[in-house]
């Protein structure tokens, strides 16, 4: 399915390239990049000491004429850790903008919601390996192959996303990161992707100076669940994406001298509404409260509280097989980010830290980024993980890494 | 006796027309930051270090007034350069006597976020201009007095001293040379708490745009660090009929070509 979409995206980009000279305006840009991430100590499951070692070139094409715009962003890269040479269509879409509506057709990155590396109503695919292996932040997001309609009547603004096929989030590669695996002996593993598409809706408007939005989603869990064929004597594990619907809301605006963000969502686990199937995530409520302020020049602080509550906790506990780690009903996470610019905003020091109080899990990411010139920048940073071996971050406790990014933009 | 009368006659209208420091600054604000119903410029900022190293920030700036000079304004900026912020857009709702609302669109993540904006004296995109220097400081924050009147080059100017009513961490006072003919600020010296001059603004070129005198080249120099920022308005225009709807999330995410080129 994904290959088909990639082919479709390539066909679209070829069309864009052909159309570009005829357009009123076109623009080519891109970058060359080196990205290295090496383990702070120890080796990966694959025996290597690197999480990432690659050279990459990105080409961006933009063409517009009248109400039309075509955009293509594609990468070619060489991975020194066994994946070899490959290409990737990051975005490839065609826009049409009318007076009170617009349409975007093709592969596109969509980001909704207010969280900083915490996702409540941002139901779109991510690349978690990119985040944990020290790639530039833009690689956290994966595009979806969809049609997006925008309508902008006076009442409110609407965005409706319709995708014929499902695109999953990428979880860290098991050869490079040590996942928690309750059944390491079972090597026969298969992945089943949903055969159906998905849709999402966002409506937003201003309420007395506050940005308010409501969200709906009907599709599937982006990260796969694990199902053994037989609990007592498993020989095969199936990874699958359970059915999911989400309804949520967000609000952000000035409060005191900073910006307050509030967001919530109800995750309706449609595949197991009773909560009796331990392989399917329980229905959840997700809550986020964030506050961002600027205590002094070129320095910002952002604090977040993020909570997840399981709805059918008794059923979950009753269904959980012996020997499996038990999650708490409430999952509380706090995060903090501090960012300071120096040297006319050409040097940036930032630290992000997340701490999950429910299983004493943590993730810390300090980064120093410098623009050598207007075209060349480099960053050095680290990812540190810790906590319980089955926790979201704790499972990567031996995957701490230090990373370098160097980019030349043209 | 006749001479006295003539002198009195010459002085009287001046006495009647004499402006206070407040009035000069109000007219200057109207001439410098509020002309037209709306305004568009392609802005080239050159950040020049003491060692001569240059960095370039290039953007299109659109401004729309909500009402009379001194009132609310909306700003929309689209960045062309440097490469790592290309296609980034930035929107400000500026209110008199209240913190701005600011939104930033990050194209790499296709994400719109509100950003905290309590410090108006922080640097605008790393330049020597602060947000306040770009979109104006609330006149009510300072008391204004005409220090003297003098020529700056060939232009007759009021020299106005503005002192913050409430103590500020670094800013002591400023002197502004306001052109008597068109009320544009031609020079501004900013002094710190100890009375040391630390920033110097100069209007380097004034051009007539649709009948409105407009500062199309300006420099802000940090006298303590030796760093300076030179700003050139490559294209400026007034009263283009920019719609209110431009200043919304829809266009922050997808800036219309007709407004940003």
ipTM for the predicted complex: 0.91
Task: Let me know if residue B254 belongs to a domain.
Answer: yes
Scanning A330-349 for CB atoms below 8 A from B yields: 341, 344-346
Per-state percent for chain B, helix, strand, coil, to nearest 5: 20, 50, 30
| Mutation site for B-interface testing, chosen from A91, A104, A111 by largest number of B Cβ within 10 Å | A111
Do the Cβ atoms of A26 and A62 come closer than 8 Å?
yes
% of chain B exceeding 90 in pLDDT: 77
Element containing residue A132 per DSSP (H, E): helix A128-132
Provide the number of structural domains found in chain B.
Answer: 1
pLDDT tens digit sequence for B140-189: 989 999 999 999 999 999 999 999 998 766 789 999 999 999 999 999 99
Name the pairing type of β-strands B73-81 and B54-65.
antiparallel
- Indicate the pTM of the whole model: 0.91
- Domain span at residue B205? 20-260
Residue B125 has pLDDT above 60, yes or no: yes
> Half-sphere exposure of B6 toward its Cβ, with a 13 Å CA cutoff?
3
Q: For residue A148, what are its two tokens? A: 């997006």
pLDDT score at B211:
95
Residue B8: strand, helix, or coil: helix
- Taking Cα atoms as reference points, which of A54, A47, A109, A120 lies closest to residue A288? A120
d(CA A219, CA B54): 50
pLDDT score at B136:
84
Residue B170: strand, helix, or coil: coil
Nearest by CB: A298 against B116, B123, B254: B123
Task: Let me know if residue B200 belongs to a domain.
Answer: yes
Name the pairing type of β-strands A210-220 and A198-207.
antiparallel
pLDDT score at A173:
92
d(CA A296, CA B153): 38
User: Please, what's the b/e burial string for B47-66 (b: 16 or more CB within 10 A of its CB; e: otherwise)?
Assistant: bbeeeeeebebbbbbbbbbe
Task: Let me know if residue B207 belongs to a domain.
Answer: yes
* A210 inside 8 A of chain B by CB: no
- Chain A residue with CA closest to B122: the answer is A297
Domains of chain A, first to last: 2-409 (2.40.160.100)
Do the Cβ atoms of A73 and A56 come closer than 8 Å?
no
Task: Let me know if residue B129 belongs to a domain.
Answer: yes
pLDDT tens digit sequence for A85-131: 999 999 999 999 999 999 999 999 999 999 999 999 999 999 999 99
Do the Cβ atoms of A315 and A289 come closer than 8 Å?
no
Nearest by CB: B55 against A69, A261, A374: A374
Mean pLDDT of chain B: 91
pLDDT score at A20:
52
Nearest by CB: A138 against B101, B108, B249: B108
pLDDT score at B249:
95
Mean pLDDT across B19-42 = 95
In angstroms, what separates the C-alpha of B11 from chain A's closest C-alpha? Answer: 48
pLDDT score at B169:
60
Task: Let me know if residue B80 belongs to a domain.
Answer: yes
pLDDT along chain A (410 residues), means of 10: 54 59 76 97 93 97 92 97 95 95 97 96 97 96 97 96 96 91 84 94 96 98 92 90 98 94 98 93 97 93 97 94 90 97 96 94 97 97 93 93 97
Which has more confidence, B1 or A52? A52
Q: What is the CATH number of the domain that holds B43?
A: 2.50.20.10
Contacts of residue B131, Cβ cutoff 8 Å, sequence gap at least 6? B100, B117, B119, B120, B121, B122, B124
Task: Let me know if residue B119 belongs to a domain.
Answer: yes
Q: Where are the alpha helices (DSSP H) in B51-184?
A: 131-135
* B226 inside 8 A of chain A by CB: no
Task: Let me know if residue B238 belongs to a domain.
Answer: yes
Task: Let me know if residue B1 belongs to a domain.
Answer: no
> Half-sphere exposure of A158 toward its Cβ, with a 13 Å CA cutoff?
11
């Amino acid at each position: 399915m994904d290959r088909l979409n990639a082919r479709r995206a390539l066909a679209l980009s070829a069309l864009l390239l052909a159309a570009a000279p005829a357009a009123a305006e076109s623009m080519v840009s891109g970058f060359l990049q080196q990205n290295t991430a090496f383990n702070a100590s120890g080796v990966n499951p694959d025996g290597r000491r690197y999480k990432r070692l690659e050279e990459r070139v990105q080409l961006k094409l933009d063409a517009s004429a009248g109400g039309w715009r075509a955009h293509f962003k594609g990468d070619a890269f060489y991975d020194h850790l066994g994946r070899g040479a490959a290409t990737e269509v990051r975005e490839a879409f065609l826009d049409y903008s009318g007076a009170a509506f617009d349409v975007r057709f093709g592969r596109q990155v969509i980001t909704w919601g207010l969280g900083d590396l915490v996702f409540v109503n941002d139901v779109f695919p991510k690349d978690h390996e990119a985040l944990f292996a020290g790639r530039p932040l833009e690689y956290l997001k994966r595009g979806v192959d969809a049609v997006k309609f925008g309508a902008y009547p006076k009442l409110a603004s609407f965005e409706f996303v319709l995708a014929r096929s499902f695109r999953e989030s990428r979880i860290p590669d098991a050869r490079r990161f040590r996942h928690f695996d309750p059944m390491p002996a079972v090597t026969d593993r298969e992945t089943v992707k949903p055969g159906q598409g998905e849709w999402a809706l966002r409506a937003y408007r201003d309420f007395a100076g506050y940005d308010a939005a409501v969200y709906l989603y009907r599709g599937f869990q982006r990260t796969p669940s694990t199902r053994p064929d037989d609990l007592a004597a498993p020989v095969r594990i199936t990874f699958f994406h359970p059915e999911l619907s989400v309804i949520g809301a967000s609000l952000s605006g000035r409060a005191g001298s900073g910006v307050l963000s509030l967001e919530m969502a109800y995750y309706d686990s449609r595949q197991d509404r009773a909560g009796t199937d331990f392989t399917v995530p329980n229905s959840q409520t997700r809550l986020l409260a964030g506050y961002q302020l600027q205590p002094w020049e070129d320095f910002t602080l952002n604090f977040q509280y993020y909570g997840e509550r399981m709805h059918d906790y008794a059923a979950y506990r009753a269904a959980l097989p012996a020997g499996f780690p038990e999650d708490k009903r409430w999952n509380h996470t706090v995060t903090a980010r501090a960012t300071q610019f120096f040297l006319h905003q050409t040097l940036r020091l930032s630290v992000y830290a997340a701490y999950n109080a429910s299983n004493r899990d943590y993730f810390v990411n300090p980064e120093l980024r410098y623009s050598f010139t207007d075209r060349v920048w480099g960053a050095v940073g680290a990812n540190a993980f810790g906590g319980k071996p089955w926790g979201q971050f704790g499972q990567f406790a031996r995957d701490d890494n230090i990373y370098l990014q160097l980019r030349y933009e043209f | 006796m006749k001479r006295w009368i003539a002198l009195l006659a010459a002085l009287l209208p001046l006495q009647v027309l004499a402006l206070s420091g407040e009035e000069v600054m109000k007219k200057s604000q109207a001439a410098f930051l509020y002309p037209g119903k709306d305004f568009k410029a392609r802005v080239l900022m050159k950040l020049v270090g003491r060692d001569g190293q240059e960095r370039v920030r290039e953007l299109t700036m659109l401004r729309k007034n909500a009402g009379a000079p001194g009132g609310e304004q909306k700003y929309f900026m689209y960045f062309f350069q440097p490469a790592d912020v290309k296609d980034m857009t930035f929107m400000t709702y500026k209110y008199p006597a209240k913190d701005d609302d600011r939104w930033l669109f990050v194209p790499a993540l296709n994400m719109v976020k509100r950003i905290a904006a309590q410090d108006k004296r922080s640097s605008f995109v790393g330049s020597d201009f602060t947000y306040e220097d770009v979109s104006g400081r609330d006149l009510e924050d300072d008391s204004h007095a005409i220090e003297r009147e003098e020529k700056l080059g060939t232009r007759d100017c009021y020299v106005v001293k503005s002192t913050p009513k409430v103590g500020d961490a670094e800013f002591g006072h400023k002197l502004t040379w306001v052109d008597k003919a068109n009320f544009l600020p031609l020079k501004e010296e900013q002094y710190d708490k100890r009375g040391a001059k630390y920033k110097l603004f100069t209007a380097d070129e004034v051009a007539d745009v649709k009948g409105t005198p407009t500062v199309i080249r300006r420099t802000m120099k940090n006298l303590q660090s030796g760093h300076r920022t030179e700003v050139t308005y490559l294209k400026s225009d007034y009263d283009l009929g920019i719609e209110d709807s431009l200043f919304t999330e829809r266009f922050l995410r997808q800036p219309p070509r007709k407004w940003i080129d």
